[in-house]
Amino acid sequence: MKPLAPSTIRSEFQPIATNVPGTEIGEHLPYLAQQADKFTIIRSMTHTDFEHGTAAYTALTGHPHPIPGTNTTARPDDFPTYGSLTTRLAPSSKPVPDAVVLGPVLHQGARPPVAGQNGGFLGPGYDPFRIAEDPNQADFHVDGITLPAGVAFRRFRARRALLASIETSSQLSNRERRVSGMHQLYGRAFGFLGSEKTRKAFELERERPRLRDGYGRTRFGQTLLLSRRLVEAGVPMITVNWSKLNSDQWDTHKNNYPRLKKLLPPFDRALAAFLNDLAARGLLGSTLVVCLGEFGRTPKINKDAGRDHWPDCYSVVVAGGGIENGRVYGKSNKTAAYPTENGVAPWDLSATMYHLLGIDPARHVYDSQGRQFTVAPGSVVTGLL
């Protein structure tokens, strides 16, 4: 909102008080204002990449793209997305997928998929399990998580044992990257099919209508409710893509304020309900929630009454999972153009996330050619913990 900026820069939206004394947020976020004790706002995020494609790659991997300022599509040697690397370094022992993405593949317009959404150099076997279906639809169901008609559970277990014996005798899974990837995919499929608890997580009709209404009967709201159910099922890493979950996007180059008046209410209701629901169930303390985009918007309104790309200073919300909630971290100048205190780069946030997940951010990971990479090139932001 930039309340201290000149009138030519500051928002037309007014600040409102939150339930944390001294912290204010925008007037179109009234539900989140009442949950501010459950999250922390980082107001000093900063980097230098102005382009959606490579900045999104950085947001999704915690690594700067080797060709910044471009819309380079996904490549086999990309750094893995968060869920893929977590699958590789800290796989779950439960019969659940290690990483789930809710929502369609991210694109910028008609271009190919944005880089940073898959297993990268780890191979396709580490791609997250994607659920593109709309949980707000009455007939919502997820294909591929139930046994085919005519296949009893006993027969299913026999099939799994047969596959395991073939892999053990041939040792193919240790010889070829593609076969190893198939092994990972088979394991994920068997985990789904063998776990009734995991399958039931997708049955949103089990939830009370009043709770579903609290999240908002929107695709984004019901997707966050599904996320909470997956947290309860033990899925370690869940990514929710806003893209195409609603009819409008946050890239407000034109008509910034009218568009935000439509974008903010469903976002506000759903995220506030999600945080409150996690807390009420005793799950927020063990669940790290990170809400981010690839950059912010320009301090000045442009000729089309919009705001353009601005990575120099923007905000991210973090909550739970080891974060000290109810705070504001970092400061910017009066126009919110540049950080003046406690600047945080995306790779610093990445290092903090991995640290809280129990993965050493200085640990090394290797691609198929044996090249060495650091899990996160930044530093843990201890001031958030």
pLDDT in tens, the chain (385 residues): 788 888 878 899 999 999 999 999 999 999 999 999 999 999 999 999 999 999 999 999 999 999 999 888 999 999 999 999 999 999 988 878 899 999 989 988 778 899 999 999 999 989 999 999 999 999 998 876 665 666 665 665 666 566 666 656 555 544 454 555 555 555 655 565 556 777 788 899 999 999 999 999 999 999 999 999 999 999 999 999 987 655 678 999 999 999 999 999 999 999 999 999 999 999 999 999 999 999 999 999 999 999 999 999 999 999 999 999 999 999 999 999 999 999 999 999 999 999 999 999 999 999 888 899 999 999 999 999 9
199-211 pLDDT, tens digit each? 788 899 999 999 9
Look up residue 73 and give its DSSP letter. Answer: B
- Structure tokens belonging to residue 246: 């609603």
The predicted structure's pLDDT at residue 94: 82
Q: How far does Cα 281 stand from its chain's mean position?
A: 21
Please state, in angstroms and rounded to a whole number, the distance separating the CA atoms of residues 70 and 67: 7
The pTM of this model reads 0.89
Helix runs in the chain, H state only: 30-33, 52-61, 82-89, 153-170, 177-194, 196-200, 209-215, 219-233, 256-280, 346-356
**Is the separation of the CB atoms in 152 and 113 below 8 Å?**
no
Residue with token string 């090139």: 377
129-156 pLDDT, tens digit each? 999 999 999 999 887 666 566 666 566 5
Instruction: Put residue 292 in one of left, alpha, beta given phi > 0 → left and psi -120 to 50 → alpha.
Output: beta
Distances (CA, A) of 282 to 90, 287, 321: 23, 10, 11
- Phi first, then psi: what are they for 238, rounded to 5°? -125, 130
**Is the separation of the CB atoms in 385 and 323 below 8 Å?**
yes
